[in-house]
Amino acid sequence: MTSKDVTEADIQSNIPLVGRKPDQISTTVNVGDVELSEGKFVVIAGPCTIEGREMMLETGTSVKEAGASMIRGGAFKPLTFPYRNDKMFQLEEEGLKYLAESKQKTGLPVVTEILDVRDIELVAQYTDMMQVGARNMQNFPLLEELGKSGIPVLLKRHFGCGLRDWLGAAEYILYHGNPNVVLCERGITVPHTHQLTSRFIVDLEAVLAAKEWTHLPVIVDPSHATFKRAYVAPVARAALAIGADGIILDVHPVPEQAAVDPLQALGFEDFDNLMKQLRNIASVMEIEM
Amino acid sequence: MTSKDVTEADIQSNIPLVGRKPDQISTTVNVGDVELSEGKFVVIAGPCTIEGREMMLETGTSVKEAGASMIRGGAFKPLTFPYRNDKMFQLEEEGLKYLAESKQKTGLPVVTEILDVRDIELVAQYTDMMQVGARNMQNFPLLEELGKSGIPVLLKRHFGCGLRDWLGAAEYILYHGNPNVVLCERGITVPHTHQLTSRFIVDLEAVLAAKEWTHLPVIVDPSHATFKRAYVAPVARAALAIGADGIILDVHPVPEQAAVDPLQALGFEDFDNLMKQLRNIASVMEIEM
Amino acid sequence: MTSKDVTEADIQSNIPLVGRKPDQISTTVNVGDVELSEGKFVVIAGPCTIEGREMMLETGTSVKEAGASMIRGGAFKPLTFPYRNDKMFQLEEEGLKYLAESKQKTGLPVVTEILDVRDIELVAQYTDMMQVGARNMQNFPLLEELGKSGIPVLLKRHFGCGLRDWLGAAEYILYHGNPNVVLCERGITVPHTHQLTSRFIVDLEAVLAAKEWTHLPVIVDPSHATFKRAYVAPVARAALAIGADGIILDVHPVPEQAAVDPLQALGFEDFDNLMKQLRNIASVMEIEM
Amino acid sequence: MTSKDVTEADIQSNIPLVGRKPDQISTTVNVGDVELSEGKFVVIAGPCTIEGREMMLETGTSVKEAGASMIRGGAFKPLTFPYRNDKMFQLEEEGLKYLAESKQKTGLPVVTEILDVRDIELVAQYTDMMQVGARNMQNFPLLEELGKSGIPVLLKRHFGCGLRDWLGAAEYILYHGNPNVVLCERGITVPHTHQLTSRFIVDLEAVLAAKEWTHLPVIVDPSHATFKRAYVAPVARAALAIGADGIILDVHPVPEQAAVDPLQALGFEDFDNLMKQLRNIASVMEIEM
């Protein structure tokens, strides 16, 4: 009477590499010295966009001091419209160099977004992990080449896609030879809260579901999920409490002046306070942080 | 060019009673001896449906021992279809009597759902707080009469409605004279996780938004939001971590045999374990529980 | 691994009265002399809100001349907020009298919304069909009493509910003895078009699905589904072309000055033009109109 | 109090090329001899996947005879999972050759999907128009290169994206030098109908909105929007009735045996019947077809 829908068995048969087998223990993904794995809570922090050398180094040093395990920074940025004004930085290779310098200075591994399948080699020279943004989640040529590259991949969920599509995308990477995939929930679009709350809402049950369905680590991006500074710390705490394996978030020396998404980045002090809250909660939950 | 949409100012001018004024402190709603208020975390627990005297009393005693502050139990149940088999109890006034007996035995205040505007007087004899279910959120005659009654109201959000409709519904109750309203997020329908995760997803950012927009207490229902036993404890922890003022959840002596929603209730031991986790997290967050 | 979801068989077993059996022909619902049935296209038109005697009579006469088969008019109006200014009319029984007068003058049957289960007797004196608005779709006491009343019911779908809930609501009415139910799709909330297009979007595939699942007539409300005057005529044409059994829409003598929803009503001339378009399309589709 | 949302003015200032200026007439996009423009209704038909030479040629001939203006056929197919069984064809360049042969035989222009930015030159040798699938709607490197190529582009909307993202994607193509863009609505994911109706639902109001916001032609894909054979013809009629400039749909010699999406393709006879219905409706609407 209706269209036959996907069944759980259909999906499981299509994710032999990504799917969790009965009693299978969770996978640990190593990025430099950092272990993303169950029982730990990894914090990745840094500027959404690398706006210059000084701000990148300053932010890297500050988030390290506050206790972050990895540094993030964007050199290639997907923008909804093709117009970039003075404030919309995309430093490309120059930005990657600052990111690498920040890594050298702090000793922390770094992650940056890859947009173009033709840039993989270039970007691979500077980074320890490549982030596939929500909009590229089903860019299959990109997933294939990242699969072949072997470099750790942070695979964000598209804001309009469910678990089936997300796990299928991860399966592409593993199928092409790369087991080092970390899933990242970054918020979905829903009608029910639009405009009066935030642009997206974080789907924390997706973290639970993803951890049931796969053996891969799953983290949360409270910055893009909320798009609102005041919500970042509460959502970060909720991500830890619900059982995520980490978070990735935007930190900026002067958040109000951030080139992109100035509404969502945390300043250094706010980030430091958040880290203290997270360590307190992690300690009573017996999670290593 | 497009339809004029609602603006924040429009909404604020329509919720003079419910809306939070600048620097306004949060309201405390008293239900019996229990205070629902910011800085506290109240746990309301009990059977989704009151299936009999013994199970109601046993559950009430057990959740009290585990540390719950209030007892819930359903005597009138909204069902999607008009057919009630042997397992779909609706004890009506008989159930209300068992609930009242449970209150007497434990000393804890009780809450139960009201479905029909013509039943308010009857139900009011047995309960300390009336729950308006998601499906009745915009049943305006019911809201008006509850407003006139003065009894504390637990107002759940419809799974397909946003903040505007929710706050408007609360405003009806206050407008008709009753300031004792507690908001409750119970999950929304979204396309992105359907079938592979849970039937609804909990929108924890709605808790943050509701607490910004209003001065009323806001709690979370992890049982109906997840519809899945294994997700209840993680979502309950996340609700606490994000800043909700409490939770309401289903507890049943033998959850697998619950008459309604057997997939989501916690057993006594699971509930006791959850309470310990919550107390640990509350203590490091300096929240009274 | 996941929560067991509803299956089609589960639903079918719960809608023995509403569900379409193999080869079952569609039901005809008679409202006065009007037949709502497959192969016909019924147009119901009139003011969203009855603002006064003159405007009600003028509109009734005008929509009859343009070819409408039934007249609509609201005397009890659900409003999101409790505040009614000068422009938010709710004439209650006075409005019902004008509606009945319009019926007498034109000879067309009339439909009006029922909000409160306690008003059924009153409203039944003045109307040929009672409309259950989206917000009351799962107001089960109201559905039960309408089932007992036997009066034809126009059951709108909640903007946040799917087919299962909608059919379950219709089953309540039939179960309590009333086979005269017409379903009405009135738009759903979706994230994808919000703000830049219209407040709701019409789900025309729901018309197809509802007609597969049930034997009841299904009509569309292009006014509330679009909330935008310029979209009403195109959506009305699409409703006819996709196979709906009719439409219900807002017509007002001076639409820009309508007390409620001034953005969506059609003026008399626009309505007359639309009717001509519809008759042309109906004729080539061999649909009686 | 809440996150600042996008305003209409923000969007308009970001789509200087794609946005419709006051009184601007609609653009005509020429693909070979075919004009996609307001006042016409173009039908593009063919197999979802090119499964072999014979089926491609047979389908091309058949849809031409039935009155189609363009032929579609997929040689590169995005699949949710990396596994392709015997029935999941992807003939790549071989398929493109069959498509080109079909063009030669029928004289009709052809359209095919482009998945990889590195394949543009190859694909351009065989096709008159390149289709960007929903999943690549925000693959910005691909959009840029298609902008530079000048070849007509059929830009499908992502099933989880709204108008802002869709128009931004089109702006990329025009900004890089290519004015020949046709927008295509192909269904969105919504919670309200899932499972019991179809996998996606078509958002026909998006056609109205897109035509208000831009001067570009807008067509509809009833096959992927419904994912269900029985719904294709009704949705195609509705697309015409609401004012779309055309449709693109799946036709297959033996639809039940289609390699991909066997549930949605029309057979030759069904397609021929649909074309007759469409011509009848177009004639009374004074639309050229």
pLDDT score of C72 more than 60: yes
- The residue-averaged pLDDT of B65-76 equals 97
Smallest Cβ–Cβ distance between D227 and the set A3, A189, A198 belongs to A3
Q: Which residue of B has its CA nearest to C194?
A: B5
Digit-coded pLDDT (tens) for A50-109: 999 999 999 999 999 999 999 999 999 999 999 987 666 789 999 999 999 999 999 999
Which of B3, B164, B196 to probe the A interface (max A CBs under 10 A)?
Answer: B196
Structure tokens at D140: 């910005």
Q: What is the mean pLDDT of chain B?
A: 93
Contact call for C205 and D193, based on CB within 8 A? yes
Task: Return d(Cα C210, Cα D118) in angstroms, integer.
Answer: 45
ipTM: 0.95
Q: Is B155 left (phi over 0), alpha (psi -120 to 50) or beta?
A: beta
Q: Which residue of D has its CA nearest to C235?
A: D242
Give kind and range of the element (H or E) at residue D60. Answer: helix D53-66
Contact call for A162 and B192, based on CB within 8 A? yes
- Given this model, what pLDDT does residue D261 score? 72
- Report CA torsion sign: D79, D80, D84, D85: negative
Chain B neighbors of D192, CB-CB under 8 A? 160, 189
Contact call for C209 and A8, based on CB within 8 A? no
Structure tokens at A153: 């991949």
Among C18, C20, C183, smallest CA distance to B82 is for: C18
Contact call for D285 and C283, based on CB within 8 A? no
pLDDT score of B99 more than 90: yes
- Given this model, what pLDDT does residue B86 score? 67
Contact call for B234 and A226, based on CB within 8 A? no
Closest-CA distance, C281 to chain B, in angstroms, reads 28
Contact call for B191 and D195, based on CB within 8 A? no
Interface A-B, measured as beta-carbon pairs within 8 A, has a size of: 141
Smallest Cβ–Cβ distance between B191 and the set D1, D190, D213 belongs to D190
Smallest Cβ–Cβ distance between A193 and the set B202, B209, B283 belongs to B209
**Alpha helices (runs of H) in chain C, residue ranges in sequence order:** 8-14, 53-66, 93-106, 120-124, 140-149, 163-175, 204-213, 222-226, 229-242, 268-284
Smallest Cβ–Cβ distance between C204 and the set D162, D208, D238 belongs to D238
Residue C100, Cβ neighbours under 10 Å: how many? 18
Smallest Cβ–Cβ distance between A228 and the set D3, D198, D228 belongs to D3
- Given this model, what pLDDT does residue A208 score? 95
pLDDT score of D11 more than 90: no
pLDDT score of A28 more than 90: yes
Architecture of D34-285 per CATH?
Answer: Alpha-Beta Barrel (3.20)
Closest-CA distance, C83 to chain D, in angstroms, reads 23
Secondary structure E strands in A37-128: 42-46, 70-72, 110-113
Q: Which residue of A has its CA nearest to D263?
A: A3
| Residues 6+ away with beta carbon under 8 Å from A77 | A48, A49, A88, A89, A90, A113, A115, A260
Digit-coded pLDDT (tens) for B225-282: 888 999 999 999 999 999 999 999 999 999 988 877 778 899 999 999 999 999 999 9
Instruction: Judge: domain C26-284, CATH 3.40.50.10710.
Output: no
Place of tokens 């305006």: B140
Give the pLDDT band of residue A193 (cuts 50, 70, 90).
Answer: low
Chain A: which residues have CB within 8 Å of chain C?
A: 1-2, 8, 160, 189-192, 194-195, 209, 212-213
- Given this model, what pLDDT does residue B190 score? 81
Chain A neighbors of B201, CB-CB under 8 A? 203, 205-206
Chains touching C, CB cut-off 8 Å, 3+ pairs = A, B, D
Contact call for B191 and D191, based on CB within 8 A? yes
C206 with D204: CB under 8 angstroms?
no
Chain A neighbors of D171, CB-CB under 8 A? 81-82
Closest-CA distance, C22 to chain A, in angstroms, reads 10
- Given this model, what pLDDT does residue A6 score? 59
- Given this model, what pLDDT does residue D26 score? 97
Which of D196, D212, D232, D289 to probe the C interface (max C CBs under 10 A)?
Answer: D196
Q: Which residue of A has its CA nearest to D229?
A: A3
Task: Return d(Cα A94, Cα A75) in angstroms, integer.
Answer: 8
- Given this model, what pLDDT does residue A2 score? 36
Chain A: which residues have CB within 8 Å of chain D?
A: 2-5, 14-15, 78-83, 115-118, 135-136, 138-141, 158-162, 164-165, 168, 171-172, 175-176, 189, 195-199, 227-228, 263
Chain C neighbors of A192, CB-CB under 8 A? 160, 189
> Of B58-62, B160-164, B173-177, which gets the smallest average pLDDT?
B160-164
pLDDT score of D118 more than 60: yes
- Given this model, what pLDDT does residue A248 score? 98
Per-residue CA distances from A223 to A161, B10, B206 (Å): 19, 28, 16
Smallest Cβ–Cβ distance between B5 and the set C162, C175, C195 belongs to C195
- Given this model, what pLDDT does residue A198 score? 61
Per-residue CA distances from B240 to A232, A285, B280, B288, C25 (Å): 15, 13, 11, 11, 54
Q: Where are the domains of chain A?
A: 33-77+88-282
Give kind and range of the element (H or E) at residue D247. Answer: strand D246-250
Q: If you compute the radius of gyration of chain A from its CA atoms, what whole number of angstroms results?
A: 18
Which of B194, B197, B199, B215 to probe the D interface (max D CBs under 10 A)?
Answer: B194
Task: Return d(Cα B228, Cα B210) in angstroms, integer.
Answer: 25
Which residue pairs, CB below 8 angstroms and at least 24 apart, start in A21-27? A21/A215, A24/A215, A25/A215, A26/A211, A26/A215, A26/A216, A26/A217, A27/A179, A27/A215, A27/A216, A27/A217
- Given this model, what pLDDT does residue D2 score? 36
Closest-CA distance, C285 to chain B, in angstroms, reads 32
Q: Which residue of D has its CA nearest to A198?
A: D3
- The residue-averaged pLDDT of B62-69 equals 98
Smallest Cβ–Cβ distance between D191 and the set B8, B194, B212 belongs to B194
Read off the DSSP letter of residue A158: P
- Given this model, what pLDDT does residue A3 score? 37
Task: Return d(Cα D61, Cα C6) in angstroms, integer.
Answer: 44
- Given this model, what pLDDT does residue C4 score? 43
Q: What is the mean pLDDT of chain A?
A: 93
With b meaning 16 or more CB within 10 Å and e meaning fewer, what string describes A111-126?
bbbbbbbebbeebeeb
Digit-coded pLDDT (tens) for C164-206: 999 999 999 999 999 999 999 999 988 765 555 567 889 999 9
- The residue-averaged pLDDT of C80-104 equals 89
Q: Which CATH class is domain A33-77+88-282?
A: alpha beta
Interface B-C, measured as beta-carbon pairs within 8 A, has a size of: 108
Interface A-D, measured as beta-carbon pairs within 8 A, has a size of: 107
- Given this model, what pLDDT does residue B198 score? 61
pLDDT score of A275 more than 50: yes
- Given this model, what pLDDT does residue D193 score? 56
D198 with D231: CB under 8 angstroms?
yes
CATH fold, domain B29-284, is TIM Barrel (3.20.20)
Amino acid sitting at position D277:
Q
Smallest Cβ–Cβ distance between B191 and the set D1, D2, D194 belongs to D194
Structure tokens at D238: 């509705």
Closest-CA distance, B112 to chain A, in angstroms, reads 26
Contact call for C1 and A212, based on CB within 8 A? yes
- The pTM (predicted TM-score) of the whole model is 0.96
Q: Which residue of A has its CA nearest to D135?
A: A138
Smallest Cβ–Cβ distance between B194 and the set D2, D8, D194 belongs to D194
Closest-CA distance, A39 to chain D, in angstroms, reads 30
Digit-coded pLDDT (tens) for B146-167: 999 999 999 999 999 989 999 9
Contact call for A231 and B243, based on CB within 8 A? no
Chains touching B, CB cut-off 8 Å, 3+ pairs = A, C, D
